């Protein structure tokens, strides 16, 4: 067996198909379109193309759509879950991700349809079931939100 077959190069990007093989989220609750710059056990950048036809914009707010802050934080967490999935090599293993804590959360700029939201996530602690990340949501180089969050990834069956 060739060396490359025994030790495949780690994923440095995750398209939508790979994201769905790692995390259970689906429309309308899947808030990332792509993850790039993945460094296992360290971090990545998630990408969310914000579009006007997303269901939360119907009520948040009519005639002045703003992406809810909680969905921005959820997008950060989904990006982090992809990092964990690739780091722990649990692709196709039907994992669930559970929030355990959100700290130091701040919102600085509104996110609106047409924005490309970049979710910069850096692992602070991890390697097992429980991970802690620092996240920054950016649009055009401007900070929109930041937070530290802790989550657990576990198999569906227990």
Q: Are 146 and 103 in contact (CB under 8 A)?
A: no
Can you give the residue range of the structural domain that contains 17?
Answer: 3-155
Count the domains in the chain.
1
Q: What tokens appear for 100 in the block?
A: 């355990």
> What pLDDT, on the 0 to 100 scale, is given for residue 68?
97
> What pLDDT, on the 0 to 100 scale, is given for residue 150?
97
Q: Over the stretch 118-136, which tens digit does the pLDDT of each residue have?
A: 999 999 999 888 999 999 9
Lowest mean pLDDT among 21-35, 88-102, 131-145: 88-102
Cα–Cα distance measured from residue 86 to residue 14, given in angstroms and rounded to the nearest whole number? 9
Q: Indicate if the pLDDT at residue 8 is higher than 90.
A: no
Lowest mean pLDDT among 35-39, 61-65, 143-147: 61-65
Q: Indicate if the pLDDT at residue 156 is higher than 80.
A: no
Average pLDDT over residues 134-150: 98
Question: Band of the pLDDT at 4, cuts 50, 70, 90?
Answer: very low
Supply the residues annotated as catalytic.
Answer: 60
> What pLDDT, on the 0 to 100 scale, is given for residue 7?
46
What average pLDDT is seen over the chain? 92
CATH of the domain at 50: 3.10.129.10
Residues with Cβ within 8 Å of residue 72, at least 6 apart in sequence:
107, 111, 117, 137, 144, 145
Question: Band of the pLDDT at 10, cuts 50, 70, 90?
Answer: confident
Q: Indicate if the pLDDT at residue 144 is higher than 50.
A: yes
């Amino acid at each position: 067996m060739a060396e490359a077959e025994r030790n495949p190069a780690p994923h440095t990007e995750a398209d939508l198909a790979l994201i769905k093989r790692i995390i259970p989220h689906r429309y309308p609750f899947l808030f990332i379109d792509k993850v790039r710059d993945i460094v296992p056990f360290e971090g990545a950048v998630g990408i969310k193309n914000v579009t006007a036809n997303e269901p939360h914009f119907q009520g948040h707010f009519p005639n002045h759509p703003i992406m809810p802050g909680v969905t921005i934080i959820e997008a950060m967490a989904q990006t982090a879950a992809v990092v964990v999935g690739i780091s722990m090599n649990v692709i196709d293993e039907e994992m669930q991700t559970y929030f355990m804590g959100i700290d130091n959360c701040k919102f600085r700029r509104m996110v609106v349809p047409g924005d490309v939201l970049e979710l910069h996530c850096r692992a602070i602690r991890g390697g097992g079931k429980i991970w802690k990340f620092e996240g920054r949501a950016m649009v055009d180089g401007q900070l929109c939100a930041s937070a530290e969050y802790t989550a657990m990834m576990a198999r569906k069956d227990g």
